[in-house]
Chain A
Amino acid sequence: MALSALNPSLRRIPVWTLWLAGLAPAVWLFWLALSGSLGVEPIKELEHRYGELALQFFIATLAVTPLRRFVGLNLLKFRQALGLLTFSYVLCHLLVWLLLDVQIPSQIIADILKRPYITVGMAAFVLLIPLAVTSNKASIRKLGSTWRRLHKLSYPAAVLAALHFVLLAKGFQIEPLLYLGGIIVLLLLRLKLPGRIRAPDRIRRRFGAADSAR
C-alpha cells in the first residue's frame, strides 16, 4: 500500500512531539477562555471543546488498528500517547463540568444519578480509568493477555462517550451522530474482517494468534 511508504519517516518522529501537539490545544483553549476570546459564555464553550477533542482523540486511537490492517499505515508507536491524550481531555472536560459549570456538589451527584446523558458520560470516564492506569509498559508485561482483554473496555467506553454527546443534543442534530457513526464503524472493522477465518478460541490461544486487540 502507498501509505505504508510513510512508515519509516513516521518511525523517526519522537512520541513527545505528539504529546506536545496534543496538549497544546488544552492550554490554548484555557487561555482563550480566560482572556475572553472564547465568547461570552466561556465555561460551556470550554467544556464542549474539551469534550469534542476527547472524542477526536478517541477516534484517532481506535483508528490505529484498522489503519495498520487495511492501509498498512503503522501508528502503533503513537497509540499509547493517543489513548492517554484521550483520557487527558476527558479529565479536562470533567473538571470544567465539576468545578466551573455545575459547581454545586449536591447538584453534581443528582446529575450523575438522574440525568441519563451524564450517567452515560460518567460511565465512559470510569471505564477509561483502569485503561489509563495500566497504559504503561510495566503493566503490559505484568498483565500479559489480561491486558488485551482489559483494554477492550475502550470499545464500550467509546460508544458511551459518543452516546453522551448524542443524548445531550437539543433537537435533531447531525454532528453527534457522525461521531457515534464513526466510532461504530471503527469497532465494526474489528469484527468483520473479510476473508479471515476465525479459528476456535482454543487453537488461537495455543498458537498465540491473539492479535485481535491490536
Chain B
Amino acid sequence: GAIGGGLAAAQDAELETNTWEEVTSYCNFYEFGTGKTDPATYAGQMTTRPWEVEIDGLVDRPGTYGFEQILSEMTLEDRIYRFRCVEAWSMVIPWQGFELADLLALAGVQAGATHVAFETLLRPEEMPGTRYPVLEWPYREGLRLDEAMHPLTIMATGIFGKPLPNQNGAPLRLVVPWKYGFKSIKSVVKITLTDQEPPTSWNMANAREYGFYSNVNPEVDHPRWSQASERRIGGGLFARRQPTEMFNGYETEVASLYADMDLAKNF
C-alpha cells in the first residue's frame, strides 16, 4: 500500500543490512582516489557546510538552494535498498532521504523537460583524486525524467540514522537502487532539467562499457566481466557469489519504465 511500491520494497524483510563499517570503509568516490579505502581516508577534508545546490534549466524557480533550506521543506524517510556496483559487488544499505520528485517539485519542472543532469562538487584542494585525469571532472550523471520522478529514486542525506559520512557522498546524494552504483552520484551541487540526454562521466570515458541507462541486468555483461552474479560485501574470504537480480530486485517497480526498449542495446 506504500507509494508506488517503494516502501514495500524498502521494507523487504529478507534484506539484511551491511554494517556501518562495511558501508563507510568500502567506497568508490574517485575524487578522493581510485582505491576502495581512499574515500574513507581522504574525504574528511571535504567541506560540506555550508552546502548549496544550484537547480537550473527547465524549471519555474531556478536558483541556489541551501542544504538546510531543502531539508526544511522535505520529509525524511528510511529506505533499505540493495546497492549493486558495476564491479559486481553489492551491499544492503539503510538510507535516510527524500524522494527526488519532491525536490524537483520544489523547483517546479517545466513541461518541456525530459531529463535531469547532476554534478558532483569539484574542489581540487579538498579532493586529491581530481588532480589526476582518471575521469573528466566534475563527475556528471543523469536520468530520464520518468526515472527521476519514480518513487524509488531518492536523494539521501543519511545512513543508519546518521548524517551521510563524506565518503558516502555528504551531504546530499542520489540513490537509484535499480541502477549500477555509479549512477547514484555523490555530493551533488548542481541539478539541471533539460530536454536532451545529458552527458554522463563513465559514458564519456568509455561508452562501450558504460551506457546511459546502466540498469542492473544479469543478462547484459560488462565487456570486461560478467554481471550474472555478484558478491555481497561482508562474507569474508570464503564468501560465495550470488545471482544478480534483474533491475537489482526492483523489476516489479521499474520494468514498465523500459517496456519497449531493447535492454541489450540500451544498456
Contacts and interface: CB of A to CB of B under 8 A. Distances in A.
A103 B236 CA distance: 14
10 contacts: A39-B26, A39-B36, A40-B21, A40-B22, A44-B89, A104-B229, A107-B228, A167-B224, A172-B135, A173-B134
A171 B135 contact: yes
Contacts, number: 63
Given A33-B237, A111-B225, A40 B205 contact: no
Contacts of B205: 171-172
Contacts of A172: 132-135, 205
B241 A174 contact: no
B119 to A, nearest CB: 17
A39 B25 contact: yes
Interface in B173-228: 205, 223-226, 228
Contacts of A170: 34, 87
B189 to A, nearest CB: 21
B52 to A, nearest CB: 28
Contact of A103 (B87, B234, B240): B240
Contact of A43 (B132, B134, B237): B237
Given A104-B229, A170-B34, A174-B132, A42 B224 contact: no
A111 B226 contact: yes
Interface string B41-84: 00000000000000000000000000000000000000000000
Contacts of B231: 41, 43
B226 A110 contact: yes
A40 B233 contact: yes
Interface string B21-37: 11001100010001011
A103 B230 CA distance: 11
Interface in A110-126: 110-111, 115-117
A40 B223 CA distance: 26
B134 A171 contact: yes
A130 interface: no
B239 A43 contact: yes
Interface residues of A, number: 29
Interface in B226-252: 226, 228-229, 231, 233-234, 236-241
Contact of B30 (A42, A103, A116, A171): A171
Contacts of A115: 223-225
A41 B89 contact: yes
Given A33-B237, A104-B229, A111-B226, A41 B36 contact: yes
A111 B231 CA distance: 17
Contacts of A110: 226
A33 B237 CA distance: 6
Nearest to A110: B226
Contacts of B36: 39, 41, 45
Contacts of B132: 172-174
Interface in A30-64: 33-34, 36, 39-46
A112 to B, nearest CB: 12
Nearest to A32: B237
A103 B241 contact: yes
B212 to A, nearest CB: 17
B22 to A, nearest CB: 4
Interface string B121-143: 00000000000111100000000
Interface string A167-182: 1111111100000000
Nearest to B24: A40
Contact of B233 (A41, A46, A171): A41
A100 B238 contact: yes
